[in-house]
């Protein structure tokens, strides 16, 4: 049966992984490879292992469990702050976890004691992105002594995350907060914290510039290894493969049409009111794939001259006017994938994933 295809070139992932791992290693930073963006597919994890990466992270326990069952011995950090009802599974499947809330930490501590373990945790500090983490010194002073009372967990690290919700960029100042709070927690409560964890890909810029505050010794990175891209920092990383992930869909209609819809405009299928710039009559290819398969805005057609114009739940619309009559009905169009494209394609039931080694 027809299905659009996600091609994964594992050799390119290995090369990206090897390069970034060496780069971080030389600067005293452990690269923790974030696998949530491709549903932790074992082939990609093996490619990262081949590149020298030994530390992994995922937001979903289901991914962590499946990865560990496929590849025994993997070391995994859980990077989505867990739900209370996940506590038993956190201790069972994650080697360590990011945490931010005492109710959850207590539940994890009790689960660890029941399982005869001490579960290491990294406490998240919110430095302004306003997603997860303890916000401000008063909140830290409230949670710190309570963590001390949790016999089943050990506070081994502090972490911060930027770029994901608030689109805040990492800076020397907002990263150095971790170093300062590590020393504060040592002095005031006697914690000995050995890991200072920053992320994600956008934090690489500080390492490249040589301005990463001393003491930061872990970076949680997905995007750079997978796509050679830093979306938050709005740049591609030089020397890294950017097309290890390619999406393919077949052309099912090819017609010249005006670029502005005709008739009174309401809202589109998603409830938005998009703008349609008038570019005249253009040759448009409809491909048999849509929002149920892939995040179309993260696709870039690889055919020179082709341009992504939009999508509905089941159709991708590509402007191929400038492709010199190369495109035929029945052709497969190939697209370079960004983060969200692969996130969707690996979680869609309708996409055929094919592993490649160029
Ligand atoms: C997704 C995620 C990362 C990785 O981010 P990239 O931009 O893919 O490198 C790091 N840390 C946390 C907490 C995340 O959720």
CATH number for the domain harbouring residue 343: 2.40.37.10
Position 174 in a domain? yes
Please choose from 29, 56, 168, 199 the residue to mutate so as to test ligand 1's pocket, defined by most ligand atoms within 8 A of CB: 199
Q: How many domains does the chain have?
A: 2
Pairing of strands 195-199, 229-230: unpaired
- CB-based pocket (< 6 A), ligand 1: 34, 36-37, 59, 79, 161, 164, 199-201, 220-223
The whole-number average pLDDT for the span 309-320 is 96
Say if residues 282 and 254 touch (Cβ distance below 8 Å).
no
Provide the domain limits for residue 29: 10-236
Mean pLDDT for the chain overall: 95
Is the same domain home to 261 and 193? no
Q: pTM surpassing 0.85?
A: yes
Given pLDDT bands bounded at 50, 70 and 90, which one contains residue 356? confident
CATH number for the domain harbouring residue 187: 3.20.20.10
> Can you tell me which atom of ligand 1 is nearest the CA of 37?
8
Give me 264's structure tokens.
Answer: 């009174």
Is the same domain home to 206 and 70? yes
Give me 308's structure tokens.
Answer: 């992504």
pLDDT at 358: 66
Position 195 in a domain? yes
> Can you tell me which atom of ligand 1 is nearest the CA of 163?
7
Domain final position from 184, 214, 236: 236
The whole-number average pLDDT for the span 256-262 is 92
Tens digit of each residue's pLDDT (9 = 90 or more) over 107-144: 999 999 999 999 999 999 999 889 999 999 999 999 99
């Amino acid at each position: 049966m027809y299905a659009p295809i996600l091609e994964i070139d594992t050799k390119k992932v290995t090369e990206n992984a090897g390069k970034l791992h060496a780069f971080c290693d030389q600067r005293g930073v452990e690269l923790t490879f974030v696998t949530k963006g491709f549903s932790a597919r074992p082939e990609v994890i093996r490619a990262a292992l081949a590149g020298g990466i030994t530390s992994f992270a995922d937001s979903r326990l289901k991914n962590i469990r499946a990865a560990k069952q496929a590849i025994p011995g993997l070391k995994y950090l859980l990077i989505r702050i867990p739900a209370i009802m996940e506590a038993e599974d956190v201790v069972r499947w994650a080697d360590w976890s990011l945490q931010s809330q005492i109710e959850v930490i207590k539940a994890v501590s009790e689960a660890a004691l029941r399982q005869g373990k001490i579960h290491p945790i990294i406490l998240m500090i919110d430095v302004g992105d306003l997603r997860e983490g303890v916000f401000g010194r008063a909140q830290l002073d409230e949670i710190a002594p309570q963590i001390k009372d949790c016999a089943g967990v050990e506070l081994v690290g502090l972490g911060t995350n930027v770029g994901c919700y608030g689109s805040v960029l990492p800076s020397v100042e907002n990263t150095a907060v971790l170093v300062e709070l590590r020393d504060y927690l040592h002095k005031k409560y006697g914690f000995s914290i050995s890991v200072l964890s920053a992320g994600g890909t956008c934090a690489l810029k500080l390492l490249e510039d040589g301005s990463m505050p001393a003491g930061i010794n872990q970076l949680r990175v997905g995007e750079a290894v997978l796509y050679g891209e830093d979306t938050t920092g709005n740049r591609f990383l030089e020397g890294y493969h950017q097309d290890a992930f390619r999406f393919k869909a077949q052309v099912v209609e090819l017609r010249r049409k005006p670029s502005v819809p005709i008739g009174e405009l309401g809202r589109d299928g998603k409830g938005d009111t998009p703008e349609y710039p008038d570019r005249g009559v253009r040759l448009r290819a409809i491909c048999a794939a849509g929002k149920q398969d892939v995040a179309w805005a993260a696709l870039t057609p690889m055919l020179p001259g082709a341009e992504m114009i939009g999508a509905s739940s089941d159709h991708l619309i590509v402007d191929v006017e400038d492709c010199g009559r190369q495109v035929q009905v029945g052709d497969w169009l190939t697209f370079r994938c960004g983060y969200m494209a692969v996130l969707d394609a690996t979680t869609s039931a309708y996409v055929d994933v094919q592993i490649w080694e160029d």
